[in-house]
Amino acid sequence: MANPDSRVTIHMAASLDGFIARKDGRVDWLEVADEFVGGDTMDPGFVEAFLKTIDCYVMGSRTYETALRFEAQGLGWAYGDKPTFVLTSRDLPRTRDTVQLHSGDLAQFVNGRLRPRFHSIWFVGGGVVSAECLRRGLADEVRYSILPVLIGEGIPFFDKLDRDIALHLAEVKAYKSGMVALRYEVRGQ
Ligand SMILES: NC(=O)c1ccc[n+]([C@@H]2O[C@H](COP(=O)([O-])OP(=O)(O)OC[C@H]3O[C@@H](n4cnc5c(N)ncnc54)[C@H](OP(=O)(O)O)[C@@H]3O)[C@@H](O)[C@H]2O)c1
């Protein structure tokens, strides 16, 4: 049974032309540097407090494989000690107890298992999983952080949507780094 108090958020960072990674999966362009004079600064204390409000993460297997590569390179694990559910039909390695692999119907998983247990559920990519989440009507909000760069081609934010999804713009924030953070509510959810 879906819990009306729970919230499913999709969040990713993308280039201005709508890509979350290069075709080969590289995300080197996320490091792009710019300076927007009128922008806000990201306060580490605020970020830390905000991350505490997230109860669990959900991601596709390719995003997980990128996270594992980052960790192996010494770049750390971005999801703290929060439960992290990896959608996959494969038996992937697990480097920590907080990671759980899941396969099966996504709507049953979100509404039957995650919503009753967690309040703030964050889908953190990639494009295949974000699109499935929207196609199945499972997302309440979309957070889109646009970076000041065009990369021409790559993996799209939402892979193969089969219909229009109406959104309500709820928040816009521009940062000194040139990043613009948009928050949309999914209409009709
Ligand atoms: N810029 C950003 O903020 C950002 C964020 C996240 C990711 N990324 C990048 O995006 C790329 C990955 O995105 P992507 O769209 O290619 O892949 P993805 O969405 O991360 O993963 C897709 C895979 O997840 C598994 N899967 C998806 N839905 C499933 C379901 N309902 N049940 C079971 N398994 C399911 C399938 O693989 P199996 O074969 O394992 O079943 C599918 O091929 C990476 O390069 C990553 O670095 C960027």
Series of mean pLDDT values for 10-residue runs along the chain (189 residues): 84 97 95 94 92 97 96 94 98 96 97 97 96 96 98 93 94 97 92
Please report the atom of ligand 1 found closest to the CA of residue 22.
45
What's the CA-to-centroid distance between 87 and ligand 1, angstroms? 8
Q: What is the DSSP letter of 29?
A: G
Peptide bond into 152 cis (omega under 30): no
pLDDT for the residue numbered 162: 85
What's the CA-to-centroid distance between 129 and ligand 1, angstroms? 6
Residue nearest to atom 30 of ligand 1 (CA): 87
- Spatial neighbors of 147 by CB under 8 A, at least 6 apart, are 13, 14, 15, 16, 29, 30, 32, 178, 179
Phi, psi of 57 (to 5 degrees): -115, 150
- Spatial neighbors of 160 by CB under 8 A, at least 6 apart, are 131
Please report the atom of ligand 1 found closest to the CA of residue 25.
45
pLDDT for the residue numbered 2: 60
